[in-house]
Structure 1
Amino acid sequence: MDPLTFKSSPAESGKTGLSSTTQTALNLGGLFLLAVVVQIIGFKRISGPYDEFLSLYGADRVLHGGLPYRDFWTMYGPAQFYAIALFFKLFGISALTGRIYDALIRAGIACACYSLARLLTGPRWAFAAFAAVILWLTGIYYPSYNFPVYPAMLASLVSCLFFARFLRESSNKRSLFLAGLFVSVAAIFRHDSGFYICFAELLMLVWTARRRRPGQTRQNQFATVGRRLLLYLTAVVLIAGPVYGIIVFKAGVQNVFYDLFYVPAVIYPKVRRLPFLTPETLQLLRQPFSWDGRTAVESLIVFFPIFAILSAFLSLFTSRRSRIFPTTWQRQTFSLLLLLASLFFVKGMIRVGPVQLIQSIIVCLTVLAILFGHLRQVSRPVAVSLYVTALFLALCTAPMLSHILTFGRRNLRDTIHPQAYDSFYRRCHPPAALSRARCILIDPDDLLAVQEIERRSTPDQPIYVGNGRHDRIFWNDVRLYFLAGRGSITRWYDLHPGVQTTLPIQNQIIDAMGRENPPVIAINSTWDNNIEPNQSRYSSGVTALDDYIRSHYTAQAAYGKITILTPSH
């Protein structure tokens, strides 16, 4: 297969009787379907209360005319909400619809990794990259469905594919433009991801133009580089520029700046920082292969990018003369992937965890597969480092296989036994009031709380979902907003340490309560005592919101840790 044009070789095409383009499309289509099937087998039906529902709630608000940053605050780019809202429009509003969208994105990521690896190595190791990526995306202990980083990651990888075409043929302006265009797409999903891929490609663009061609003057060299930069940057802002321009115009500069820049850059590092190994992880490692301890073994994957990146740099450094890759453009493409993996790793070092480092992990899985495809060309020290890295990866990946098999058996059982309590048949045909939880396993107390909220309010009446205390916050049960189909009385629906723990924002929530007079306040105290080794463990001393709720609302029902309150007067 021609690694640049993604076309089959004449010999391969002759065997099948198909054109190279058709053969390539069939190959990628087959891999895409395989990736979807793997996710169906390992489908985790349980649902957390927070991350997944940030995107689902935002999409629901967008579908009802809401605008990000104006009507609800978020640290993510706007595109994820609108993309899921489109799926809601097509397939109905439910958590399952969000999972379908997410599965398609993850399948696309695995196929993009295959295509990138196929540029630089043979089909066997390209498939190994595909398999490793989809295994981690499916089997990761905390899957974080609908995480906006995934569509941004897909756009970044596709951008790398087009940039590789440009690296091979520098006169290919169309590929350079498309590379920048997909950076623009990445930026509207996650502006930070867009920045990292843009920075990496700009660096490579300047680096590859540092040498003059024979007979080329320095003035002509600068002019050529300038035209390429202009073309690339024009594409980068072509989509992201108008999108963010409209958002800023409608939501206001202050809201957009606070949500997208101030909180992530100033507040988030202080209140969400986590070390590479927490005391809980070290405790679990005492029994690393037990089911309950699988998180501990898996969490060691945060060290994998370090090993993979060091091995890759070592391979480049020791192969300057022997050259692992036969062509310059392949070496440059590999360097781009290595640079991107390094940048994503640095980005994820604030809140260290498998999900936070997943972008770097995905690129490193691809890089490792590529290097194994050239094992005969690397030096002995590099080969040793690659084997050590692969063994470490295998240790961290073992729980993934256990996850796939365990949830696969459960899903099969729940399919062939329709009368079982948690069968797909029962859960996929819930009462109308619980239609948004279709096919997803939700704790009975949570479902009862959702029904109680629906009984005491109407869809056009906003509510508030808070914690037992607001002077110290871990997160809140955003799930209740979405499953009940209710909006928030305030844009501050997502409770975050360092934000809603402050007096100015608590006063804004109190003002909103005074204006809206919500018929229901749901208080979930599950995470009131969660402590992390960062500044979120300290109380802000601000109890204005808690005092207001206690003096103006009365408890009417309790379902586990969830208390339903209504106005006292």
Structure 2
Amino acid sequence: MLKKIINLFILFILFLFAFNYFLYGTLCLCFPYRNYDDAIVLYGAELVSKGKIPYRDFWTIYSPGVFYLLAFNFKLFGVTLGSSRILSAIILTLVTISIYIVIEKLSNPLYALIGFLLSVLYFKKDIAYLRAYQVAFLFCILSSLILWKYLDNEKKRWIFISGVLNGIVFLFRYDFGFYNFIAISICLIIKDEKNFQQIKKNLFLLIIGNLFMILPFIVYLIKNNAFLEMINVFIFSLLVYPKYRNLPYPELNLYNLILYFPIFTFLFTCIKLLLSQKTKKYLLITFYLFLGLGLFIYASVRSDYIHILPSLITAIIISIILIEDIINKSLISLMIRKKIINIAMIIIFLRIFYSFFIQIDFIEERFLQKNNSLKIELPRAKGFYDNSPELARIQLRAIQYIQKNTASEEKIFVGNIRHDKLVNNDILFYFLSERNSATKYYELNPGLTNTYPIQKRIINDLINNNVRYIVLCDFFLNRLNEPNESNKSSGINLLDRFIRNNYKFLKITGNKYIKYIILLKK
């Protein structure tokens, strides 16, 4: 009993530490570098909170679970940027706590603490805004903890519950749900590799658990005439998206070495497992190996830090467990082992101290000194600031103009200066201006928006909604030529011609990096 109380107290302290660490610095908007994915979730959740149905009423490449989660949060705490950031901090905190629990079960609390600190550190390298993968990854870890319970006592209900949790993963990230399902299935197959009937029963329970969550979701989409649209998005994600959004893996050098850590870890783990006995620990490491490999495949489409991060965290979990095992089996004395662990924790603490008090604190300090140039004066971003105030203020001026000259229920369109060639667009404009999009295709994507059928649909939406104001953004990010199909013009200028012929120039705000051109219907 006393041990349980102590463990709960440790988890509580770790929760407070991680939550405050993730929360600190989240008042920075980081416009325009990090708000594209943030804006997709924010505006999608706002639409869901107003009764809109994903896929049917608005096109999105995201799984819808994150929209409903944030919409529920909006109902409780208001439709603001702050409530989203707090929810993200809570989810990331739960992820790091779950990582601690997993490693602690397979090694000991000291190694678990190292894993916890490393996951906190790497998750914080990106501003803590809400992303669908965060929730999906949390439930991947929770499903592994339930799988561990099955491996421990072989009660069948744990397989079903693990399947239910994986069904939840599917609702937030279809691809994560698939990879996690494969990882669980492989563990169950290896465990009973000589008993085919047992494997069939276990996989059947796992599938039933998944369907327990997935079938109601599919019925909901069918009932609301959104299922076929979801299938179209799924096809787009598999066949079109990789061509237009692919980023090659970074060059192998000292700076990018950490991004190659997962693949080195997975290769070593394969060798280690082939030489090991099939224990419970072996099976759970196998789960994380195949989950990590799946997440590494996911990152192969767009190989930047934020997409490689889930496989990196998975590799950290595996590596710490294996390092503990190697050290314990070595001839190193207990005293030296403790020194190694202590040195590792000191190094990580110093790194966290640097990022917490040096990298972030100077921005917060400027904000707390009431530097008005940093503040974002919008109701939905109240209390927020930006460390690039000039860029944020350009967006702010355009938003304030639209708010002043349109009614709250009036619909607008926020596009780019050209739609035959693009990377992304300013979806955050809709959320911060509190004005809805006139078209369901507000999430502009290369391979979609630069096609004739979609441009025709956008034009019809603009006509049917009698849109008076159009805001065109000229982002320097859209001028970058990524090494994929997005750097080529599709030759489809239907939407651009329509805008030129039916709208007149009204106002421009910006500089050489970002411009907002406001147009009024002729």
Q: Which residue of 1 aligns with 2:244?
A: 271
Q: Which residue of 1 aligns with 2:260?
A: 303
Q: Secondary structure at the match of 2:468?
A: coil
Which residue type is aligned with residue 107 of structure 1? T
Whole-angstrom distance in 2 between the partners of 1:486 and 1:396: 44
Deviations 1:334-386 (A, max 9, x none): 11111111111112111111111221111111111112211235689xxxxxx
Whole-angstrom distance in 1 between the partners of 2:508 and 2:348: 41
Which residue type is aligned with residue 552 of structure 1? N
Deviations 1:314-337 (A, max 9, x none): 3223x43xx5xxx81111111111
Comparing 78-87 with 519-528, which one deviates more in the overlay?
A: 519-528
Deviations 1:7-41 (A, max 9, x none): xxxxxx5xxxx3x4433332222212211111133
Q: Secondary structure at the match of 2:517?
A: strand
Whole-angstrom distance in 2 between the partners of 1:416 and 1:461: 36
Shift of 1:300: 4.2
In the alignment, which of 331, 334, 352 is matched to residue 303 of structure 2? Answer: 352
Q: Is contact 1:67-1:251 (8 Å) kept?
A: no
Deviations 1:405-449 (A, max 9, x none): 3343225524653x33267xx65xx4xxx1111232351111111
Q: Which residue of 1 aligns with 2:494?
A: 544
Correspondence 1:446 to 2:429: no
Q: Is contact 1:183-1:197 (8 Å) kept?
A: yes
Q: Is contact 1:117-1:126 (8 Å) kept?
A: yes
Comparing 143-152 with 498-507, which one deviates more in the overlay?
A: 143-152
Whole-angstrom distance in 1 between the partners of 2:418 and 2:76: 39
Q: Secondary structure at the match of 1:374?
A: helix
Shift of 1:456: 2.0
Moved over 4 A (4+): 377-380, 394-402
Whole-angstrom distance in 1 between the partners of 2:379 and 2:301: 37
Whole-angstrom distance in 1 between the partners of 2:27 and 2:380: 17
Whole-angstrom distance in 2 between the partners of 1:515 and 1:395: 60
Q: Secondary structure at the match of 1:352?
A: coil
Q: Which residue of 1 aligns with 2:339?
A: none
Q: Secondary structure at the match of 1:562?
A: strand
Q: Secondary structure at the match of 1:525?
A: strand
Correspondence 1:24 to 2:7: yes
Shift of 1:515: 0.8
Q: Is contact 1:42-1:407 (8 Å) kept?
A: no
In the alignment, which of 321, 325, 341 is matched to residue 374 of structure 1? Answer: 325
Give the TM-score normalised by the residue count of structure 2: 0.89
Distance 1:264 1:56, change over 3 A: same
Q: Which residue of 2 aligns with 1:245?
A: 219
1:490-529 correspondence to structure 2 within 5 Å? 490-526=439-475, 527-529=477-479
Distance 1:400 1:377, change over 3 A: closer
Q: Which residue of 1 aligns with 2:334?
A: none
Q: Which residue of 1 aligns with 2:337?
A: none
Structure 1: stretches of 5+ with no match in the other structure = 1-12, 213-220, 289-296, 381-393
Give the TM-score normalised by the residue count of structure 1: 0.82
Which residue type is aligned with residue 516 of structure 1? N
Which residue type is aligned with residue 494 of structure 2? A
Q: Is contact 1:149-1:189 (8 Å) kept?
A: yes
Correspondence 1:257 to 2:244: no
Q: Which residue of 1 aligns with 2:78?
A: 92
Correspondence 1:118 to 2:91: no
Q: Which residue of 2 aligns with 1:312?
A: 269
Whole-angstrom distance in 2 between the partners of 1:203 and 1:459: 53
Q: Is contact 1:136-1:397 (8 Å) kept?
A: no
1:10-49 correspondence to structure 2 within 5 Å? 18=2, 20-43=3-26, 45-47=28-30, 48-49=34-35
Q: Secondary structure at the match of 2:224?
A: helix
1:163-242 correspondence to structure 2 within 5 Å? 163-170=147-154, 172-212=155-195, 222=197, 224-242=198-216
Q: Is contact 2:26-2:129 (8 Å) kept?
A: no
Whole-angstrom distance in 1 between the partners of 2:128 and 2:55: 22
Distance 1:353 1:397, change over 3 A: farther
Correspondence 1:564 to 2:518: yes
Whole-angstrom distance in 2 between the partners of 1:206 and 1:367: 20
Q: Is contact 2:85-2:128 (8 Å) kept?
A: no
Shift of 1:91: 1.2
Distance 1:256 1:396, change over 3 A: farther
Deviations 1:160-194 (A, max 9, x none): 11001111222x12322221111011111111111
Whole-angstrom distance in 2 between the partners of 1:563 and 1:91: 34
Q: Is contact 1:119-1:330 (8 Å) kept?
A: no
Q: Which residue of 2 aligns with 1:487?
A: 436
Structure 2: stretches of 5+ with no match in the other structure = 332-345, 387-391
Aligned residues: 496
Q: Is contact 2:23-2:85 (8 Å) kept?
A: no
Q: Is contact 1:462-1:488 (8 Å) kept?
A: yes
Whole-angstrom distance in 1 between the partners of 2:330 and 2:11: 33
Shift of 1:277: 2.2
Whole-angstrom distance in 2 between the partners of 1:32 and 1:262: 40
In the alignment, which of 129, 144, 155 is matched to residue 145 of structure 1? Answer: 129
Distance 1:415 1:486, change over 3 A: closer
Q: Which residue of 2 aligns with 1:421?
A: 372
Distance 1:453 1:399, change over 3 A: farther
RMSD of equivalent CA atoms: 2.5
Whole-angstrom distance in 1 between the partners of 2:66 and 2:291: 22
Q: Secondary structure at the match of 1:563?
A: strand
Which residue type is aligned with residue 37 of structure 1? N
In the alignment, which of 403, 406, 411 is matched to residue 462 of structure 1? Answer: 411
Q: Is contact 1:471-1:542 (8 Å) kept?
A: yes
Whole-angstrom distance in 2 between the partners of 1:474 and 1:253: 27
Whole-angstrom distance in 1 between the partners of 2:353 and 2:27: 14
Whole-angstrom distance in 2 between the partners of 1:201 and 1:97: 34
Whole-angstrom distance in 2 between the partners of 1:25 and 1:135: 22
Shift of 1:59: 0.4
